[in-house]
């Protein structure tokens, strides 16, 4: 079964790749559209931060119960909970959990300051990626003297990262950097991701409780990113009939108006086909024939 992409609005710059994870390490491509186009990826770049933090915890260079400090110059609000909490002196492990669960911006900056941006930059290179990076801290304002974006990337590399996190790195660049203990930590943080507003909306999961297999036996580990002119989702999703790794990025210009509805509708259309592929079921739970949409 392939995934048929919907008509994609030409006002949006897309980068899309959907992989059959069951055929890893050389996965079949179920769908793609300009997968090498580099897009702003907003919070998705935080995946590289989580990989670095997990490696340091596994190696003992960080201790999960150590407390974080937040420099005043890196204080931000918006996405997350930490900036609203009375006690912001959290442990490293709990801070990473906030990043995975609610894409917490202040927690991101605290961890990024702890490990250093250079170390986070190096993660992408160690994994063999050239067009995908967490570039900078989260900023309240992007002035000309700071990097142009928090993170950027292409669907080819982001889908590959999701595949390697979900299935194991195999014989790939930086395989030792995605050891099983590292992957387990990263996936445990992503398991709490409460943002199922985009592609994952089609999986019909409980947004606040899907660590264990949930609707139709689906297990989701994913990361999303949102800014005014972008929506992005990257993930690995498994069900009783299959497993898929995916990346879908949508960017548009300030002059195009707010195209979030158009972008999210397309993402949900792809997500519905992914759900059918990995479950073999309709949304209501009827069994599917090999052709999606036919029941028996």
Residue spans per domain, the chain: 12-44+131-279
φ, ψ for residue 220, nearest 5 deg: -120, 135
Encoded tokens for 291: 């052709």
Residue pair 136/147 in contact by the 8 Å Cβ criterion:
yes
What residues have CB less than 8 Å from 141, skipping those under 6 apart? none
Q: Quick check: 293 pLDDT over 90?
A: no
Q: Quick check: 95 pLDDT over 50?
A: yes
Whole-angstrom Cα distance, residue 18 to residue 27? 10
Q: How far apart are the first and last CA of the chain?
A: 17
Across the chain, mean pLDDT equals 95
List, for residues 15-56, the tens digit of each pLDDT value: 999 999 999 999 999 999 999 999 999 999 999 999 999 999
- Model confidence at 78, pLDDT cuts 50, 70, 90, reads confident
Q: Are strands 219-227 and 39-40 parallel, antiparallel or unpaired?
A: unpaired
List, for residues 197-245, the tens digit of each pLDDT value: 999 999 999 999 999 999 999 999 999 999 999 999 999 999 999 999 9
**pLDDT at residue 128, rounded to an integer:** 97
* Domain 12-44+131-279, CATH number (from 2.40.50.140, 3.90.730.10, 3.30.200.20, 3.40.710.10): 3.40.710.10
Residue with tokens 């005043």: 72
Contacts 24+ apart (CB under 8 A), 19-23: 19/159, 19/160, 19/163, 19/244, 19/245, 19/246, 20/242, 20/243, 20/244, 21/163, 21/166, 21/167, 21/236, 21/238, 21/242, 21/243, 21/244, 21/245, 22/242, 22/243
pTM: 0.95
């Amino acid at each position: 079964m392939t995934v048929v992409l919907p008509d994609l609005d030409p006002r949006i710059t897309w980068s899309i790749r959907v992989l059959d994870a069951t055929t890893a390490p050389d996965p079949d491509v179920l769908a793609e559209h300009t997968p090498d186009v580099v897009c702003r990826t907003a919070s998705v770049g935080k995946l590289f931060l989580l990989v670095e933090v997990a490696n340091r915890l596994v190696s003992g260079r960080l201790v999960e119960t150590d407390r974080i400090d937040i420099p005043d110059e890196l204080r931000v609000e918006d996405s997350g909970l930490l900036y609203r909490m009375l006690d912001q002196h959290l442990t490293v492990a709990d801070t990473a959990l906030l990043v995975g669960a609610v894409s917490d911006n202040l927690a991101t900056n605290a961890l990024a300051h702890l490990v250093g941006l250079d170390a986070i930059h190096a993660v992408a290179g160690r994994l063999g990626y050239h067009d995908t990076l967490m570039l900078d801290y989260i900023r309240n304002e992007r002035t000309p003297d700071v990097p142009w974006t928090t993170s950027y990337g292409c669907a080819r590399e982001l889908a590959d990262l999701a595949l390697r996190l979900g299935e194991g790195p195999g014989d790939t660049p930086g395989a030792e950097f995605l050891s099983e203990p590292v992957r387990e930590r990263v996936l445990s943080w992503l398991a709490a991701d409460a943002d199922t507003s985009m592609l994952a909306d089609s999986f019909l999961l409980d947004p606040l409780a899907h660590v264990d297999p949930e609707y139709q036996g689906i297990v989701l580990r994913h990361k999303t990113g949102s800014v005014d002119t972008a929506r992005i989702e990257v993930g690995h999703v498994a069900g009783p009939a299959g497993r898929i790794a995916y990346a879908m990025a949508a960017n548009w210009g300030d002059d195009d108006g707010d195209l979030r509805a158009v972008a999210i509708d397309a993402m949900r259309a792809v997500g519905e086909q992914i759900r059918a592929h990995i479950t073999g079921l309709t949304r209501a739970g009827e069994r599917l024939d090999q052709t999606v949409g036919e029941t028996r």
